Amino acid sequence: MSTVTEPSAFEKILQEMNKEGAFTASVLASEDGLPVAAAPTPSPYDAETIAAMVTLVKDFITQAQARIGLAEVDEVSITVGDRSRLVCRYFTAGTQPFVLTVLAPPQQSYRRLTTRAVREICLLWNSTEH
């Protein structure tokens, strides 16, 4: 007997964003690389691996900022051979740093949808106690 669980509020935000943007998958992770939410569930991609990978990207950004004096980076986009993109949006909700990662299909705009999701995640995070 399998149990169907209701998606968390964070997962619902990711599901809606994925639906509107035709995104393959999305992961919300802590700064430490721990997945907070993922969509779809189950995902064709391992949420824990994606979360850990974007932490490595964040470490690279931090080093680049220190060594060449870059301003704060809020987004990194990696385009792969089929022109799809791995987009990492870095933001803070309250005092907690997060990374929103999206796998976007070729030629698909993503900034408006990820910005809205970040805003909704921040509102939700700030409305609950941690």
The pLDDT of 65-80, averaged and rounded, is: 85
Q: What is the DSSP letter of 129?
A: -
pLDDT band at 61 (very low <50, low <70, confident <90, very high): confident
How many CB atoms neighbour CB 36 within 10 A?
20
How many CB atoms neighbour CB 29 within 10 A?
26
Nearest in space to 10 (alpha carbons), one of 120, 96, 127: 120
Nearest in space to 75 (alpha carbons), one of 84, 66, 64, 86: 86
Which has the minimum average pLDDT: 28-42, 51-65, 91-105, 114-128?
Answer: 51-65
d(CA 37, CA 61): 23
Which has the minimum average pLDDT: 1-5, 11-15, 73-77, 91-95?
Answer: 1-5
Question: Are 37 and 12 spatial neighbours (Cβ–Cβ below 8 Å)?
Answer: no
d(CA 107, CA 91): 24
- Note the residue count of the chain: 130
d(CA 19, CA 21): 6
pTM, two decimals, is 0.85
Q: What domains are defined for the chain?
A: 9-125 (3.30.450.30)
* Model confidence at 28: pLDDT above 90: yes
